[in-house]
């Protein structure tokens, strides 16, 4: 017996899509340790129904920033288009100072508004330390190599809640080839945590002192790229120095909550997993308005 089956696909005409409500999206991390502070402004996008691929226009915007004493209107000239209808607004004529609370207000002629507050952490000495160890071995090609391991630790200040983020830049210089210095600004001002280029599976993380109040905390242990120990006096590229630059961010709680939520972000693709959404502290809109200060350590490995 041969059974023939046929199938067809029809458009479902009885589905009611969720109503799209446009909101202002704010992305900003301010710090007194940045040469320039700026704010990204964009729009939410419709995910159902007719998809145009571009975010709807926000109309004409006015941005105001207050430090509790003075309020300024940010430059209304939209500079450096981000993508679609998103732009950077640079902070001018108002310095970002540690310990101060800043209030951001965004208004659109389309009736959209967004507001948020953030307090810049005060700089403190967390006794940032780097402890290294090296192993020398012969590679499969017969070259002598060394691998260096580094442990980054701090000492938490007791009696207060602290939040951290740790970044590092590995710089290898040679006699004939000098590697350009990576920009820490791009990493600090990134919208999502950077990925460690040498350990992509681990990536960048944020930390809190929960359960470690007042104790010494090991934030990260990393393995640096192997270095060839070439004896030839005229090699093509001879390593003559290796520098490790470590940056400790002392962040406010919204900064920590947002980046921590990115670790578990999910829209529920797995039917057995509850959807997890990103943290937002923007009233009337969505996004993040947070602050941090930076402590740094330059460590010469070779």
Where are the chain's structural domains? 24-120, 129-252+295-300
Element (H, E) at 259: helix 253-263
Could you tell me how many residues make up the chain?
302
> In this predicted structure, what is the pLDDT of residue 220?
87
Q: Is 150 exposed, middle or buried (0-12, 13-18, 19+ CB in 10 A)?
A: buried
pLDDT at 273: 52
Listing DSSP states for 199-227 in one string gives -TTT---EEE-TT-TTSEEEEEEEEPPPE
Residue bearing tokens 């944020």: 206
Q: Which two tokens stand for residue 107?
A: 């208004």
Structure tokens at 269: 């693709």
In SS3 terms, 233-247 reads as: CCCCCCEEEEEEEEE
**Residues in contact with 275: Cβ distance below 8 Å, sequence separation at least 6, in sequence order:** 266, 267, 268
Q: What is the pLDDT of residue 5?
A: 54
Q: Please tell me the predicted confidence (pLDDT) of residue 180.
A: 45
- Which CATH number fits the domain 24-120, given the four candidates 1.10.3470, 2.60.40, 1.10.10, 3.30.1370? 2.60.40
User: Residue 245: its pLDDT value, please?
Assistant: 83
The pLDDT averaged over each successive group of 10 residues in the chain (302 residues) is 57 67 92 89 77 72 92 70 69 90 95 96 93 83 79 94 88 55 49 36 74 92 70 50 84 93 63 67 95 89 68
């Amino acid at each position: 017996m041969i059974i023939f089956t046929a199938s067809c696909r029809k458009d479902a005409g009885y589905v009611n899509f969720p109503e799209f409500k446009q909101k202002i999206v704010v992305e900003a991390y301010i710090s007194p340790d940045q040469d320039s502070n700026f704010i990204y402004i964009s729009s939410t996008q419709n995910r159902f129904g007719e998809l145009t691929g571009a975010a709807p226009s926000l109309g004409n915007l006015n941005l105001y920033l207050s430090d509790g004493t003075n309020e300024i209107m940010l430059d209304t000239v939209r500079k450096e288009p981000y993508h679609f209808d998103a732009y950077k607004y640079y902070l001018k004529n108002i310095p970002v100072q540690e310990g101060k609370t800043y209030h951001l207000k965004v208004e659109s002629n389309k009736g959209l508004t967004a507001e948020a507050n953030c307090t810049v952490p005060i700089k403190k000495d967390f006794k940032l330390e780097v402890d290294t160890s090296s192993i020398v071995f012969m590679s499969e090609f017969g070259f002598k190599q060394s691998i260096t391991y580094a442990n980054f630790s701090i000492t938490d200040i007791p009696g207060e809640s602290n939040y951290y983020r740790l970044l590092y830049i590995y710089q290898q210089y040679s006699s004939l080839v000098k590697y350009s210095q990576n920009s820490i600004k791009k990493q600090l001002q990134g919208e999502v945590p950077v990925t460690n280029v040498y350990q992509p599976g681990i990536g960048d993380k944020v930390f809190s002192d929960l359960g470690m109040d007042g104790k010494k905390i090991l934030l990260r242990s990393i393995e640096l790229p192997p270095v060839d120990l070439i004896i030839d006096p005229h090699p093509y590229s001879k390593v003559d120095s290796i520098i490790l630059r470590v940056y400790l961010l002392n962040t406010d709680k919204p900064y920590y909550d947002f980046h921590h939520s990115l670790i578990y972000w999910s829209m529920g693709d797995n039917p057995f997993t509850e959807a997890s959404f990103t943290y937002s502290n923007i009233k009337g809109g969505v996004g993040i308005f947070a602050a941090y200060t930076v402590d740094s350590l330059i460590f010469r490995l070779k």
